[in-house]
Structure 1
Amino acid sequence: MLVGIPWISIITKAYRSPGLSGINLGKFLIKRVIHLLRRDMPHISIFATLSPIPGYMHWLLPKFASQIKLSKSESEDMKHFSEKCSGSNFIEDLLLPEEKEMILSGYLKWLQSGTASEIEFDKSECMDTREHDSVKDVTEITYELLTSREWNKSDILSEALKPPLLRLCARYLLKEKKRGKALDVVANFHLQNGSMIERLNWMADSSDKGIEQSGGIMVNYVYRLDKIDEYAQSYLNTGHIHASSSLHQYLEVITEVVPVFLIRNVNKAPRVAMLLFALYELYKYNQCLCSRYVVNE
């Protein structure tokens, strides 16, 4: 929230045309709009957009699908252990423990409310999820709800999915990059023109297209006249993304990843898995890495 500072929202869209490839019209258009606005309202010095996030769900849903696929992988013989150690297969737990609990609780309430439509799950598996903290079951529920595109019609499901969707959206905008620049095309457009990411807006676009593209979330990009050139050069030269403290707060909790070979052996041979886990931790310590790893017991 921008308090005590005059500001105005500009609704923007990024248009792409093959004939204009390589020509940065965005910076010209934004400066032109700012010039016209300041001519009529000279007291305004901070401008903001209300922008879509078209690539968010396109990035997120495959992440969930990949996690489900890995978690369902069958256990392999210990003779393949060395191959797994040398590989880079990890199961990333996209959902925090409290988020999984909230989603499961909301989902069960939704089932009991009688408003559930054609989305069907095994309720017994959901109950097991709460007891054993299984990554697989809650992730599958979340994935099925998001792909159904009906979750936003239920206040219960919407409130349950709001925290993880906002947190993962902040990660998508701030951390997910391609060739050193923001993965989202609209984010890249505004950042290279000197903006900063200010705020996520829940259900700012509840249309079918908005739910399909970004889970209904829209974002404010803020242009401060005294910072436009500095932010643009910083982003273009180093890929650094300027963002408000409210965006960075979403990233304070680091999600944990679990080595696949540990997941595959923990139920079959828990003592062996714990030994492997200890060896793996020692290896990571020697590599001077600070990531945390957990084993489901």
Structure 2
Amino acid sequence: MQRNRFLPDMLSTLFDRSRVKYKDNDPRDTAQLCYALLSEEGEVSGQKLAEVILDRYRASSDEDKLAFFQFMNEELDIDASKLAELATEYADNPSAEAYASVANESAPKRRQLLRRLNQPSGATSDLVNMRVDLLRLMKDAPELARSDLDFTLLLRSWFNRGFLVLKQIDWDAPASLLDKIVAYEAVHEIDDLDDLRRRLSPPDRRCFAFFHPAMPDEPLIFVEVALTATIPGSVDALLSEDRAPLLAADARAAVFYSISNCQSGLKGISFGNLLIKQVAKELALEFPQLNDFVTLSPIPRMNTWLLDQTSDPVIGHVAAAVLAGEAPPEDVRAMAARYLVEAKRGNGTPVDPVARFHLGNGAEVHAVHANADSSDNGRYQSGGAMVNYLYDLSVVEKNHEDFVLNAKVATSKSIKALVKAPFKTKPEALAS
């Protein structure tokens, strides 16, 4: 992919982003403009009204933003009494007209306001950023969670898979986009441009991202992929400055080693499961010789769990040894396997959030590795342990159903053996 091809190719699939600017000389306050946007005036001059409201919002202080959200939350809420009355009428006479009245009244006016605010070009990005403010201000105003439910409902609709555009990002992508990849990388920090080049330029490296037509310059989520001869057990080796690149034709495994969400305003709207499966299909078509699609993932809450196990009469001494960095690799792997398979929340799903994500996508816990991530964060989270989740495209749907319906953790034979394996570390009393 050539630099001079990226933007034309991208823009050919996306909407025109031209934006008409309107002068704000309207004497009405923002609340009055919102009511106008919801009225017949909004049917005629909706784009202008929306542009002025969004411009005012962008220029407002946190105090004014909070007042705006409180206005939406309270003044544009459901009329519960009227809805109850209409629901009673519908129960007595379930006609189409009665149903339409219930359906219309059950949708709060703020949801319609958000739809109408989305009229100007570029407004989708404004509303995503608006939700960033809402999530931040909700910490001190939890009642705004009602409004956040409406934001979430609409954003899930606007950002469904049918609108997403998958693009490969390489070293020849625009500098502004490369800067965003560096800024948004959330798993393995990119140190400098040389580090970025090592992840994008070699023939055995790929990076894919989802974009949305309304936000063509902003990646929503991206995944970094390494093409390898075997399933790797160390991110240190995978990202080493001294490694010898592999010819893509010689690869037998595609390794998803970093997945980063880019838009905090889209929190709770999952793209990762779609991205991994779509990229796996793309790579399978490009490289039919690939046998395995795996991750090399962190285990973010393993050490937190180990701290709670140090008083356990059976595994406490091993947990303490792993935390102290004194356990042999075999015991680190055995404890990691136990954590991933046996540490559960109240609803029966794994404690580990990365495990929940991949297992929910239909992957299996395939292999665990000690001394796999020597970074400060890797040591802090899991003593350097990492895990491969395997995406077997022939069984991901079955695994997904088993996990969603029964919280079943799909595991390889080696993981099952590790869960039951005896420890090499002995209690002090026995060791002496």
- Confirm whether residue 28 of structure 1 aligns to residue 274 of structure 2: yes
1:37–1:168 distance in 2 versus 1, CA, 3 Å: same
Contact (CA 8 Å) 1:14, 1:186: kept in 2 or not? no
Return the offset for 1:48.
0.6
Cα distance between partner residues in 1 of 2:262 and 2:338: 25
Return the offset for 1:17.
6.0
Counterpart mapping for 1:208-227 below 5 A:
208-227=376-395
Counterpart mapping for 1:94-173 below 5 A:
94=315, 143=320, 146=323, 151=325, 157=326, 160-173=327-340
Return the offset for 1:28.
1.0
Contact (CA 8 Å) 2:364, 2:409: kept in 1 or not? yes
- Confirm whether residue 192 of structure 1 aligns to residue 360 of structure 2: yes
The CA deviation string for residues 153-184 of structure 1, in whole angstroms up to 9 with x for no partner, is: xxxx4xx4433322111111001111221110
Return the offset for 1:252.
2.0
Q: Which amino acid aligns with 2:420?
A: E
Cα distance between partner residues in 1 of 2:323 and 2:410: 29
Return the offset for 1:214.
0.6
Q: Which amino acid aligns with 2:332?
A: L
Aligned to 2:372: 204
Aligned to 1:175: 342
Contact (CA 8 Å) 2:306, 2:320: kept in 1 or not? no
- Confirm whether residue 236 of structure 1 aligns to residue 404 of structure 2: yes
Return the offset for 1:18.
5.4
Contact (CA 8 Å) 1:191, 1:241: kept in 2 or not? yes
2:361 partner SS: coil
User: Highest Rg: 1 or 2?
Assistant: 2
1:250 partner SS: helix
Structure 1 unaligned residues grouped into runs of 5+:
68-90, 96-137, 152-156, 256-297
Aligned to 1:106: none
Aligned to 1:41: 287
Aligned to 1:92: 313
- Confirm whether residue 56 of structure 1 aligns to residue 224 of structure 2: no
TM-score (norm 2): 0.37
Aligned-residue RMSD, C-alpha: 2.7
1:251–1:146 distance in 2 versus 1, CA, 3 Å: closer
220-229 or 15-24, larger mean C-alpha shift: 15-24
Cα distance between partner residues in 2 of 1:146 and 1:190: 25
Cα distance between partner residues in 2 of 1:144 and 1:94: 10
Cα distance between partner residues in 2 of 1:55 and 1:16: 22
TM-score (norm 1): 0.52
Contact (CA 8 Å) 2:364, 2:390: kept in 1 or not? yes
Return the offset for 1:250.
1.7
Cα distance between partner residues in 1 of 2:375 and 2:262: 23
Cα distance between partner residues in 2 of 1:45 and 1:164: 29
Equivalenced residues, count: 174
2:293 partner SS: strand
Contact (CA 8 Å) 2:334, 2:421: kept in 1 or not? no
Contact (CA 8 Å) 2:362, 2:398: kept in 1 or not? yes
Contact (CA 8 Å) 1:193, 1:232: kept in 2 or not? yes
1:182 partner SS: coil
Cα distance between partner residues in 1 of 2:372 and 2:396: 26
Cα distance between partner residues in 2 of 1:177 and 1:56: 12
1:210–1:146 distance in 2 versus 1, CA, 3 Å: same
The CA deviation string for residues 15-60 of structure 1, in whole angstroms up to 9 with x for no partner, is: 4865334422121111221122123113335301100001100111
1:145–1:194 distance in 2 versus 1, CA, 3 Å: closer
The CA deviation string for residues 62-81 of structure 1, in whole angstroms up to 9 with x for no partner, is: 321xx1xxxxxxxxxxxxxx
Cα distance between partner residues in 1 of 2:298 and 2:341: 15
Cα distance between partner residues in 1 of 2:314 and 2:382: 20
Return the offset for 1:206.
1.2
Contact (CA 8 Å) 2:252, 2:291: kept in 1 or not? yes
Contact (CA 8 Å) 2:294, 2:390: kept in 1 or not? yes
Aligned to 1:126: none
Task: Give the share of equivalent positions with the same residue, in percent.
Answer: 32
1:145–1:246 distance in 2 versus 1, CA, 3 Å: closer
Q: Which amino acid aligns with 1:229?
A: E
Aligned to 2:226: none
Contact (CA 8 Å) 1:199, 1:219: kept in 2 or not? yes
Cα distance between partner residues in 2 of 1:31 and 1:188: 16
2:288 partner SS: coil
1:181 partner SS: coil
1:221 partner SS: strand
Q: Which amino acid aligns with 1:93?
A: V
